Chains A and B, each alone.
Chain A
């Protein structure tokens, strides 16, 4: 499978272009790093690929075809701040079961303790909460994962543990990944190839 975007452009209504002419592709099982200064539109690109935002121009294709707007989105995204990505009034079991309840073995692999599922989001640390968000994003029908500064808020050991688990799962299931980060050393450690934002866009 191939996830690609061709000549994407984005602007807020009435505003100037945030970026123009962005083309990029990620194959199944491949991890592509995307590095660039913050504020350049990397997160917006991720949101467009995952179906959270619409491009002003250009196309997003999965195996050459547009992604249907309804149903489970095969491109899932994990954000930098997990506390903003979960409903604060739901216990985590409900958040996790939104798409489907992962099996116990999968939770263990991501280092999730089942006792966390009966807690509220504010009772978990950022690292614990991020693991839940990753488990939610890795549903059985996920084909591509956009990791947007996924571990930037975490200490080095937690970061390394989360990435080792995610890489192993992605490899097994041939999930393609776009790894958006400011940290070149991290991109080089987890990705098959790394692209720099200014090579991509004329914004």
Chain B
């Protein structure tokens, strides 16, 4: 049984466009994903693909006006509002994208200690700070006093000191120095090796592939593919979805190919396959209907023509 299972999740926001006009913005559209204990699942895709919103949906911190359908199960049971409130911060921990998630009026050391578990939380915090090259004095600072790279490391430390079973890391590495990126990734790997599940949200495919077991590729608010990390190799022919291949082949070392077109706007989604307007393999059937997610060669994809 997966530790976290997201089925057919949709998140929409109403946007008021002046007067009584109301437009629905479909931020997440029929998203599926699962994380087993002991594994790192990386979520990759462009900005605006719904990656961060997924994190917020799992943690139960979407804004109040979000309309949510579908299911999120944790440990085999629905993760409803009451349950997530009880688990957040101890069993389920978020590494947020920005320090604005910290309490601005509390020193960061004290905040990190609140998630620390074990017999000696202070010692745990000290050893994690050391690994992330954070001086002890950093603990006495307030969030606004942290530099960009330092703030990232403090945010990562909140997860590393915890005994969380599920860690949701939302873009934990940008702006970090290379050594800190490596340390952060290896700490996430260690947490997974000790039995936690990790959802690693990132735009950096290469960083993700260094530690992930599986990769979920997001496009325009949906999962277009769930692949094994090892499928991202060579010319990308093991990948199942044309967008995953395009993303892989756009890396400088894989041909640096620029895919034309832009991601559709979330208030004007195409009625068929969300990738059809940019897909070199699109046929008429692709614009008529949304492809359902299905199993192909040991992974999952949302494409009529994948084989």
A residues with CB within 8 A of B? 37-39, 80-81, 111, 113, 125-127, 152-161, 163-164, 182-183, 185-186, 188-190
Contact = CB atoms under 8 A, between A and B. Distances in A.
Contacts, number: 67
B215 interface: no
A159 B259 CA distance: 10
A155 B257 contact: no
Contacts of B250: 156-157, 159-160
Nearest to A187: B252
Contact of B47 (A125, A160, A182): A125
Contacts of B262: 111, 113
B246 A157 contact: yes
Nearest to B203: A155
B203 A154 contact: yes
B109 interface: no
A37 B252 contact: no
A177 to B, nearest CB: 15
B9 to A, nearest CB: 21
Nearest to A149: B175
A182 B178 contact: yes
A126 B171 CA distance: 14
B100 interface: no
B85 to A, nearest CB: 29
Contacts of A81: 175
Contacts of A37: 177-178
Interface of B: 44-48, 149, 174-178, 203, 205, 246-248, 250-253, 256-260, 262
A152 B149 CA distance: 14
A163 B252 CA distance: 10
A158 B46 contact: yes
A125 B252 contact: no
B47 A127 contact: yes
Nearest to A182: B178
Question: Which A-B residue pairs are the 8 nearest by beta carbons?
Answer: A189-B252, A156-B250, A185-B253, A161-B258, A155-B46, A185-B252, A160-B258, A160-B250
Contacts of A182: 178
8 contacts: A38-B177, A125-B48, A155-B247, A156-B205, A156-B247, A160-B252, A160-B256, A161-B258
A166 to B, nearest CB: 11
B46 A183 contact: no
A175 B176 CA distance: 30
A50 B47 CA distance: 30
A39 B177 CA distance: 8
Nearest to B179: A37
Nearest to B176: A38
B203 A163 contact: no
Nearest to B253: A185
Q: B48, B257, B258: which has the most chain A beta carbons within 10 Å?
A: B258
Contacts of A125: 46-48
A28 to B, nearest CB: 24
A192 to B, nearest CB: 15
Contacts of A154: 46-47, 203
Contacts of A127: 46-47
Contacts of A158: 46
A141 to B, nearest CB: 28
Contacts of B46: 125, 127, 154-155, 157-158
A113 B174 CA distance: 27
Given A157-B258, A158-B46, 16 more contacts: A38-B177, A38-B178, A111-B262, A113-B262, A126-B47, A127-B47, A153-B203, A154-B46, A155-B45, A156-B251, A157-B46, A159-B252, A160-B258, A185-B252, A186-B252, A188-B252
Contacts of B175: 80-81
A186 B246 CA distance: 17
Contacts of B47: 125-127, 154-155
Contacts of A152: 174
Contacts of B45: 155
Nearest to A162: B258
Contact of B256 (A38, A126, A189): A189
Contacts of B253: 185, 189
